[in-house]
Structure 1
Amino acid sequence: MKKQAIIIGGTTGMGKATVELLLKEGIEVIVTGRKEENLKVVQKELSALGSIKAVGFDLLDVSQVNDFIKTLSDIAPNVKYLLNAAGYFNPKPFLEHTVQDYDIYHDFNRSFFLITQEVVKIMKENGGGSIVNIGSMWAKQAIKATPSSAYSMAKAGLHSLTQHLAMELAQYNIRVNAVSPAVVVTPIYGTFMDKDKIEENLKGFNDFHPIGRVGRPEDVARTIRFLMLDDSSWVTGAIWDIDGGVMAGRN
């Protein structure tokens, strides 16, 4: 039976770059996203590489998440890999955060938790699997220029979940790891800047990274692929800094 991967939030950025790499490995990929147009684009662009199925639902809508969970055993009976990649980022000073701002970040985590729980049940029956969460450097290091208290709190929770699940699920041959990127050129910055100017605007962060440049989606995706597949079979509970050296030190 062909191995399957589920990419939660795989229509753009790091999720999409991971979809491409996994398809090239001969893995059947189920991609989820909120925007129908993005799902159509990723399916059209990547279908030549392998078997890809697109499923649309909103991670912030409890009923839609529950409906997706109910379908998992049917659409992904052979799932071996899961990536929780969806995200939202809108820096805002702590005193300006609203309840709605807070809820967006933590509703993502709730959905990741519940979806992962159902996927693990299938993985357990299949003899094991591998899960990767996309965390964030902001969960480890506060950056005054981009105040992100609620975002960072949610990402730190995802880091912690990674470690707890690694301990609990090892007995089922399920590995759980996370990546912790710094500034990566993805559409996530479109919440507070012109989408056509994201790449140009982020050049200002090049020198923030000791390696001298911001990241590209494929920089992170290559590490995600490694953590998912068997080459990293002795790695679990790790939160890898894929950050151009930011956590080592900054210029």
Structure 2
Amino acid sequence: MNKQAIIVGGTTGMGKATAELLLKDGIEVTIIGRSDKNLKTTEEELSKIGTVKTVGLDLFDSKQLQIFINNLNSTTPNLKYLVNAAGYFSPKLFIEHTSDDYDLYHNFNKAFFFITQQTAKIMKDNGGGSIVNIGSMWAKQAIKATPSSAYSMAKAGLHSLTQHLAMELAEHNIRVNAVSPAVVVTPIYGAFIEEDKIEEALQGFNDFHPIGRVGRPEDIAKTIHFLLTDQSSWVTGAIWDIDGGVMAGRN
């Protein structure tokens, strides 16, 4: 049986870096994304490493989402791994948030919830599996310079879901963990920083991290890969701070 993985939001950043590691293990990877351009580029790049398939999906479109979920049994019957990596981040004051702002963040969790539900059913039939959610340091620590109440509330919910699913799914040999990154150089900041200036802009956060630098997608992907595989077979319900030491203390 060829093991299969799904990465929701795997065309860039941490999700893409994780896909590369899984492909090197010989695992078939299905990458979910919304941008046709990014999907095409990612498939071209990663197909050089292993067997990869891309699926265009708007997580906020309930009809598209349900069709995708309904087809999972036939498209990924050997599913063993799931990474919920899609996201959006744009700092905004709490008093300026609109209902649309709120829904933008929390509808990601709704999609994750029901995709994870169906993948767990498949993993159960396959004798087990592993799920990793990408949470956030902002769910644990408020940063005044980057006000993000709705985003942080959604990520805290994802942390909580991680722990609850770890308890419920353990009897089916399904492990569920999460990572909680600090500032990582990824396109997610493109919502409020020009894409070609993200790298430069985020260097201003180097000293924010005790270890002295911002994170790279590979830093997080290596931990996600570890949590997915049997190397961490006695780890479930964990929310790992992969944050350059931020939660230990800031400079």
- Which interval holds the TM-score relative to the shorter structure? over 0.9
Q: Match of 1:71, as an amino acid? A: N
Match of 1:128 in 2: 128
- The total of aligned residue pairs comes to 251
Match of 1:38 in 2: 38
Residue 118 of structure 1 deviates from its aligned partner by 0.4
Residue 145 of structure 1 deviates from its aligned partner by 0.2
**Per-residue CA distance 1:200-236 (angstroms, 9 max, x = gap):** 0000000000000000000000000000000000000
**Per-residue CA distance 1:38-88 (angstroms, 9 max, x = gap):** 010000001011100000010111111111101101110000000000000
Cα distance between partner residues in 2 of 1:113 and 1:14:
20
**Per-residue CA distance 1:159-210 (angstroms, 9 max, x = gap):** 0000000000000000000000000000000001111100000000000000
Residue 124 of structure 1 deviates from its aligned partner by 0.3
Cα distance between partner residues in 1 of 2:177 and 2:6:
15
TM-score by structure 1 length?
A: 1.00
Structure-to-structure mapping, 1:143-182, within 5 angstroms:
143-182=143-182
Match of 1:93 in 2: 93
Cα distance between partner residues in 2 of 1:96 and 1:75:
42
Match of 1:119 in 2: 119
Q: Which runs of 4+ in 1 moved over 6 A?
A: none
Match of 1:208 in 2: 208
Please give the root-mean-square deviation of Cα atoms over the aligned residues, in Å. 0.4
Match of 2:244 in 1: 244
Cα distance between partner residues in 2 of 1:250 and 1:74:
48
Match of 2:81 in 1: 81
Residue 240 of structure 1 deviates from its aligned partner by 0.1
Match of 2:222 in 1: 222
Cα distance between partner residues in 1 of 2:57 and 2:167:
30
Match of 1:104 in 2: 104
Cα distance between partner residues in 2 of 1:126 and 1:21:
22
Cα distance between partner residues in 2 of 1:44 and 1:226:
26
Match of 1:54 in 2: 54
Cα distance between partner residues in 2 of 1:206 and 1:61:
37
Q: Match of 2:18, as an amino acid? A: T
Cα distance between partner residues in 2 of 1:47 and 1:235:
31
Q: Match of 1:240, as an amino acid? A: W
Q: Match of 1:12, as an amino acid? A: T
Q: Percent identity?
A: 75
TM-score by structure 2 length?
A: 1.00
Match of 1:19 in 2: 19
Match of 1:66 in 2: 66
2:137 is the alignment partner of 1:137 = yes
